[in-house]
């Protein structure tokens, strides 16, 4: 027996769950196929990473009713300082200068995951299939017939006029649609953990570029910080086997002493870093969102912020549409997302190439650029607004009026 749904979302991670919630809030029925059981400990994207959520992202989470379940565990970011080891100058962004209470917030991914799950439990029009997987898709008149297999081994067919791939970097939906990708291996691995600094960060976040890659330090509750440390892939195994004292010394050498001594590193989780960009974010009655559409370098913490804007733009466009998979609607989705998507991917890639790689001849130019951005208020303001996630053609849910 074949059932039907206006929209089927493959992938119940952070972006897929957000899309499902946004659709339900708009009164649109959907099916969400989740590979993992609907519990925080079972969902691989609800992990130990500490997410830097842009202000626009938090606006979006408020609009779909998720932030109420996460706000008390989030830490405001009121100041961001960006610098480069060996160069002079830095770029400083301050919430007070922008007339807002925070530029963004830091939140562990598992805490955001728990908030999403709690909000999903309140959805009225959403059908959740979990744990389950999309095994096959077949073109049908006016849509797709999707074969979904549950943990019981039983295959079920769902017809949908719009199939959404929210199933991550290795997207099976993207592969079955035949959409090619462009990949770039940065030859780097990322380590994330929490640490305790000697001095309270007081809402300050830091991004430090080095020859070996960027280091980010994010404020957390209880005077802890989230450390995001990039290392050369050849060094990853060595770093992974360091004891706490050795890792603390390693992180200290890379980040410096802005917060005094760093100690008590928590559980360390490594991630490979690669850039994966789909040649197209839409297909025939199909859309890719989040990491299925683009996986960017973690520099600047743009991954989930970008993916949520994907999800909320799609939800906005299909609201009130008689046919959510209409070709003109999907072309409009691609048009709206193109500047944000391409600009963010280009920026993150350029920062890695220009700010992190050892290029001594560029050092004076990098320093001059940082001094200019920091000392010229209109440029700093524009950079701050971009850092807060405000983009052209942004979905209505993330917008606000700021100075």
Span 160-168, average pLDDT: 97
What is the average pLDDT across 130-153? Answer: 95
Q: How far apart are CA 352 and CA 346, in angstroms?
A: 10
Q: Check if the beta carbon of residue 306 is closer than 8 Å to that of residue 344.
A: yes
H/E segment holding residue 107 = strand 104-108
* pLDDT higher than 90, residue 2: no
Task: Give the chain's mean pLDDT.
Answer: 89
- The average pLDDT across 278-302 equals 92
Would you state the pLDDT for residue 133? 94
Pairing of strands 104-108, 162-165: unpaired
Return the number of other C-beta atoms located less than 10 Å from residue 192's C-beta. Answer: 23
Tokens of 252: 């200290």
Q: Is residue 367 part of a domain?
A: no
Give the helix ranges, DSSP H, for 288-326: 303-318
* E-state strands within 5-103: 7-10, 30-33, 50-54, 75-77, 79-84, 90-94
Q: Is the pLDDT of residue 172 over 60?
A: yes
Beta bridge partners of 54: 104
Percent of the chain with pLDDT over 70: 89
Q: Residues 137, 145: contact at Cβ < 8 Å?
A: yes
Alpha carbon distances (Å) from 279 to 174, 241, 337, 341:
10, 38, 13, 12
Radius of gyration of the chain (CA): 21
Q: Determine how β-strand 225-232 pairs with β-strand 215-219.
A: antiparallel
Residue 367's pLDDT is: 57
Strands 294-295 and 30-33, sheet pairing = unpaired
The predicted-structure confidence for 221-251, as pLDDT tens digits, reads as follows 889 999 999 898 889 999 999 999 999 999 9
State the pLDDT at residue 46. Answer: 46
Q: How many domains does the chain have?
A: 1
Grade residue 1 by pLDDT with cuts at 50, 70 and 90: confident
Asked, for residue 265, whether it belongs to a domain, the answer is: no
**Residue 289: pLDDT above 80?**
yes
Q: Does position 41 have pLDDT exceeding 60, yes or no?
A: no
d(C-alpha 282, C-alpha 292), whole Å = 11
Strand stretches in 153-309, DSSP E: 155-160, 162-165, 181-197, 204-209, 215-219, 225-232, 262-263, 269-278, 282-283, 286-288, 294-295
Report whether pLDDT(291) > 90: yes
37-65: average pLDDT: 79
Please give the residue range of the domain that contains residue 327: 2-79+104-182+274-358
The phi and psi torsions of 320 (rounded to 5 degrees) equal 85, -5
Residue 299 resides in a domain = yes
Residue in the block written with tokens 């096959």: 136
Q: Which of 273-277, 323-327, 336-340 has the lowest mean pLDDT?
A: 273-277
Task: Give the mean model confidence (pLDDT) for residues 189-194.
Answer: 91
Examine the pLDDT at 356 and tell me if it is beyond 70. Answer: no
Contact 176, 136 (CB under 8 A): yes
Residue 165 pLDDT more than 50?
Answer: yes
- Asked, for residue 57, whether it belongs to a domain, the answer is yes
pLDDT band for position 299 (cuts 50, 70, 90): confident
Contact between 7 and 31 (Cβ < 8 Å): yes
Q: Is residue 187 part of a domain?
A: no
259 located within any domain: no
How far apart are the C-alpha atoms of 162 and 94, rounded to whole Å? 42
Asked if residue 403 has pLDDT above 80, the reply is no
| Residue whose token pair is 């009130």 | 320
CATH number at residue 24: 3.50.50.60
Q: Which of 10, 14, 3, 53 is nearest to 32 (CA)?
A: 10
| Residue 167 belongs to a domain | yes
Using the predicted structure, report yes or no on whether residue 22 has a pLDDT greater than 60: yes
Q: Is residue 172 part of a domain?
A: yes
């Amino acid at each position: 027996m074949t059932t039907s749904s206006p929209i089927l979302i493959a992938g119940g991670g952070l972006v897929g769950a957000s899309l499902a919630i946004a659709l339900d809030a708009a009164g649109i029925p959907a099916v969400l196929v989740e590979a993992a059981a609907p519990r925080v400990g079972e969902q691989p994207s609800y992990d130990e990473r500490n997410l830097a959520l842009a202000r626009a992202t938090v606006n979006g989470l408020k609009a779909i009713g998720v932030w109420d379940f996460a706000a008390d565990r989030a830490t405001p970011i009121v100041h961001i300082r960006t610098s480069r080891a060996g160069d002079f100058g830095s770029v400083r962004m301050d919430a007070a200068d922008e007339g807002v209470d925070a530029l963004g917030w830091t939140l562990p991914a598992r805490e955001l995951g728990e908030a999403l799950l709690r909000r999903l439990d309140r959805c009225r029009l959403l059908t959740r299939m979990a744990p389950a997987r999309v095994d096959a898709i077949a073109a049908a008149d006016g849509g797709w017939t999707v074969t979904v297999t549950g943990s019981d081994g039983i295959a079920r067919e769902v017809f949908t006029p719009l199939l959404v791939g929210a199933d991550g970097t290795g997207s099976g939906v993207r592969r079955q649609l035949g959409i090619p990708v462009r990949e770039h291996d940065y030859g780097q691995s990322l380590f994330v953990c929490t640490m305790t600094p000697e001095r309270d960060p007081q809402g300050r976040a830091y991004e430090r570029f080095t020859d070996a890659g960027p280091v980010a330090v994010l404020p957390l509750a209880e005077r802890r910080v989230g450390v995001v440390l990039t290392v050369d892939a050849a060094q990853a195994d060595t770093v992974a086997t360091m004891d706490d004292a050795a890792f603390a010394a390693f992180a200290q050498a890379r980040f410096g002493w802005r917060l005094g001594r760093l100690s008590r590193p928590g559980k360390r989780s490594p991630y490979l870093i690669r850039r994966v960009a789909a040649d197209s974010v839409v297909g025939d009655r199909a859309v890719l969102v989040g990491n299925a559409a683009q996986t960017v370098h973690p520099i600047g913490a743009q991954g989930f912020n970008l993916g949520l804007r994907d999800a909320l733009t799609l939800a906005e466009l299909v609201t009130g549409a008689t046919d959510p998979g209409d070709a003109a609607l999907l072309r409009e989705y691609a048009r709206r997302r193109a500047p944000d998507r391409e600009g963010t991917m280009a920026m993150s890639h350029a920062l890695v190439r220009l700010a992190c790689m050892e290029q001594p001849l560029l050092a004076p130019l990098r320093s001059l650029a940082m001094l200019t951005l920091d000392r010229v208020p209109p440029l700093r303001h524009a950079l701050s607004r971009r850092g807060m996630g405000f983009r052209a053609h942004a979905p209505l849910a993330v917008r606000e009026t700021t100075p």
